[in-house]
């Protein structure tokens, strides 16, 4: 089955996570073991897609951000502290 456009965007961000996190760190204060807020990640995903020439409505970019967040948690890049706050762990990846 062909992946949806949303899944393609999620896969592109997750597969190119080094570039995404460099983009994120250029706009938001972030370093290993810093707190990442869900809303900042949502805005970063929207702006990153725009940077890549992809226009996405806020509702679509929020869906993409939720899936990216879930994948980064599974990969151990983000560790949940509560529902809206996560600890960034880039050194182990």
Q: What is the domain-level CATH number for residue 17?
A: 1.10.10
**Which residues are within 8 A (CB) of 35 and not within 5 positions of it... i.e. 6 or more apart?**
81, 85, 86, 87, 88
Q: 91 or 17: whose pLDDT is higher? A: 17
Does residue 91 register a pLDDT over 80?
no
**Is there a domain that residue 93 lies in?**
no
Element (H, E) at 80: strand 78-80
Question: How do residues 41-50 score in pLDDT, each as one tens digit?
Answer: 999 999 999 9
d(CA 36, CA 77): 11
Question: How do residues 17-40 score in pLDDT, each as one tens digit?
Answer: 999 999 999 998 888 899 999 999
Give the domain range for residue 58: 5-88
Task: Give the model's pLDDT for residue 90.
Answer: 80
Q: Total structural domains in the chain?
A: 1
**Is there a domain that residue 70 lies in?**
yes
């Amino acid at each position: 089955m062909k992946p949806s456009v949303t899944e393609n965007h999620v896969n592109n961000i997750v597969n190119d996570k080094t570039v995404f996190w460099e983009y994120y760190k250029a706009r938001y204060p972030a370093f290993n073991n810093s707190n990442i807020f869900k809303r900042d990640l949502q805005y970063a995903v929207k702006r990153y897609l725009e940077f890549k020439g992809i226009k996405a409505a806020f509702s679509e970019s929020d869906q993409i951000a939720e899936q990216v967040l879930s994948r980064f948690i599974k990969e151990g890049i983000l560790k949940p502290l509560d529902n809206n706050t996560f600890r960034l762990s880039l050194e182990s990846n």
